Each structure stands twice: as structure tokens, then as C-alpha cells.
Amino acid sequence: MILLDNEPMSKHTTFKVGGPAHYFTKAESLDDLKRALNLAHEKGLPFFILGNGSNLLVSDKGFNGVIITLAGDFSSMENLGNGAFKVGAAVPLGRFARSVLKQGFAGIHKLAGIPGTLGGAIYMNAGAYGQEIGCCCTQVTTLDGAGNRHEYTVNECSFGYRQSAFQKLGETIVSATFQLPTASAQGKTVADLEAELAECMAKRKATQPLNMPNAGSTFKRLEHGAADTPTQIAPGYYIEHAGLKGYRIGGAEVSTVHANFIVNAGGATASDIKELSEFVQSKVAEKFKIELKREIILLGDF
């Protein structure tokens, strides 16, 4: 197990902000993971499982606990036959999505542009362009804080919009299994799926600030729009119509490309980003009487 002290979290988040983690570990096997969980237990510190840090805002003060990242044995992908796959939590979602597409399977190809790990995707039930990771998942395997293994059926995972049972369980997702339909079962060819993926990637490029550090959508899609625009459920619409595109606090900016993204425009602190997200929430609430709920996860004391 790799163990680092006072590791800057700005090196491990796509926002490129965040103070030091007291302990930062890289677990390459189940034994390593148990050792890392044990370290937290022995020191009486909380632990936090980090994927690619692409949906995360870590405090400038850092995290007084044990950060656990997964690698090695958690990076394997196994084709079990007949469209079934077992995938380790550290596998980049894009790698999994592109690999199964090449093998002729549909269901998750549109998720290839999401810059997280499989574990982070399951935890968040990541989704895009009408597909969600939970849709084709059949089972998730976890380890609890005491090192005990658990297996959850898809029903027990309680997948919903950016929701899963793992947000309450506090366990480490170690792997998941999937059952994917073939392209032909959907009346399509691999070339059709590749074209669909290319279209999604082009949309991302055209509509997202991919050249600046960010953590994807700041706020979750709304259940209902405002009184005047009940079918408008995109937070970006309200943020833009509140005149906030390009609004800055310190180095944090409401993206001029996509209003539901906050970008680190240079030298942003985590406090800048949090403050800006709260300012956006208050302005949108004031103007449209709707509540924006944060999708990005906060870690540490703010």
C-alpha cells in the first residue's frame, strides 16, 4: 500500500483545488484496502474513498482523515460471456464504455465522456444523454469499514437520478457486474453506436468548458421548473437568466460556456467555488423561487 502524508488534494481533483489530506493511500489489493481502512480505525480518523475527483470540492483546509484511492487489482475488466462483465472500481468509466462498445455491446456507450472511475459512477449513478450506469448494472460488491464484504443486487442499489444506496452506506465499492445488450439486439451496428458516441462527444466539446478545471454540473437537474417555465428543468437556464454567466468570486467563475458549470478560472480556492455556488443558489431562489440542489460533493471543513 502506498501511503503519503499531507498530500495536496489539488493534485487529485479536476477543480485543481483542495488542501492536504492527513493520510493519502493507494490500495492495490483487497488486503491493501483493509490496511487503509484499519489505519483510519487505529488513528480514530474518518476515511474517504476517492475516485478521479471529478465530482468533488475539497476544502482549502484539506481533510483530516485517510483518503483511499484504488488501483492495481481494482483496475481489471472481465468479460464473463453473453454480455456479462465484471469491472473493478478503479477502471475509468470511459475505458469500460469504449471497450464494451468495441466488443459489440450497447447500453453505456454514451457515458464514455464522463471523466470518473467506475466506483464514482456507481456511487453517483452517473448518466448522460439518456443512459445511466445503474441501468445495466446487476450487482455491486463492497467492503465495509470493518473489512467485511457485501454484495448488493441491482434492486438493493436503489439507483435513482444521481442517487444510489452507496451514498448512505459509507462502504467502498470494489467492483460491479453488468449485463449489456448487443448492438444488434437494439437493431444497430457497432458503427451506429460509434456515431452516437461521436455525436455525444461533439456536444460535450461544444457546450462544456472542457479547457478549464471544473467538476461537471454544479447543480442537479430540477424535478419541476419555475412557475412560469414548469417544463424547464435545466439549472443552467435559470442561472443564465439570472444574469450570472461569467460572474466571478475570486478565481471561481460561472462558466461563460455552460452556466451550470463553475470553473477555476485561475487561482480559485475551494472557498471561492463554494461561495460562488451559494451565491448562485440565492440569486436563482430570489428571482425564480426555485431551489438548486448541489450535485458536487464537498469534503472537509469549509
Ligand X SMILES: Cc1cc2nc3c(=O)[nH]c(=O)nc-3n(C[C@H](O)[C@H](O)[C@H](O)COP(=O)(O)OP(=O)(O)OC[C@H]3O[C@@H](n4cnc5c(N)ncnc54)[C@H](O)[C@@H]3O)c2cc1C
Residues with a known catalytic role = 162, 217, 295
Coil, helix or strand for 83? coil
Among 134, 216, 235, 236, binds ligand X (CB under 6 A): 216
Q: How many residues bind ligand X (CB under 6 A)?
A: 33
Kindly tell me which of 114 and 290 has the beta carbon lying closer to ligand X: 114
Q: How far is the CB of 89 from ligand X (least distance, A)?
A: 4
Counting contacts by CB under 6 A, is residue 297 touching ligand X?
A: yes
- Residue with Cβ nearer ligand X (173 or 265): 173
235 near ligand X, judged by CB under 6 A? no
Interface with ligand X includes 173 (CB under 6 A)?
yes
47 interacts with ligand X by CB under 6 A:
no
The span of 27-35, 43-51, 187-195, 277-285 binding ligand X (CB under 6 A) equals: 43-51
From 25, 177, 208, 260, residue interacting with ligand X (rule: CB under 6 A): 208
Q: CB of 14 within 8 A of CB of 261? A: no
- In the complex, the smallest distance separating the C-beta of residue 200 from ligand X, rounded to whole angstroms, is 9
Q: What does DSSP say about strands 56-58 and 297-299: parallel, antiparallel, or unpaired?
A: parallel
> What SS3 state is found at 196?
helix
Task: Return the bridge partners of 142, or none.
Answer: 150, 173
Which H helix or E strand runs over 66? strand 63-70
**From CA 281, how far away is CA 18, in angstroms rounded?**
22
Buried b (16+ CB within 10 A) or exposed e, 24-63: bbbbbeeebbbbbbebbeeeeeebbbbbbbbbbbbbbebb
Q: Smallest distance, Å, CB 289 to ligand X?
A: 27
| Nearest distance in Å: CB 29, ligand X | 14
Residue type, 256: T
| Of residues 89, 142, 141, 151, the one with CA closest to residue 120 | 89
For ligand X, the closer of residues 218 and 269 by Cβ is 218
Which 14-33 positions form the footprint of ligand X (CB under 6 A)?
14
**Residue 49 found at the interface with ligand X (CB under 6 A):** yes
Q: Out of 106, 126, 212, 290, name the contact with ligand X by CB under 6 A.
A: 126
Cα 114 to chain centroid distance, Å, stands at 8
- Give dist(CA 173, CA 93) in Å, integer: 14
Residue carrying the nine cell digits 468570486: 249
Check binding of 131 to ligand X (CB under 6 A).
Answer: no
Interface residue with ligand X, options 17, 37, 56, 106 (CB under 6 A): 56
User: Counting contacts by CB under 6 A, is residue 107 touching ligand X?
Assistant: no
Strands of 252-254's sheet, edge to edge?
Answer: 214-217, 261-264, 252-254, 248-249
Window contacting ligand X (CB under 6 A); options: 76-84, 110-118, 245-253, 279-287: 110-118
Residues contributing to the site for ligand X (CB under 6 A): 14, 48-56, 70, 89, 114-117, 119-121, 123-124, 126-128, 166, 172-173, 208, 210, 214-216, 297
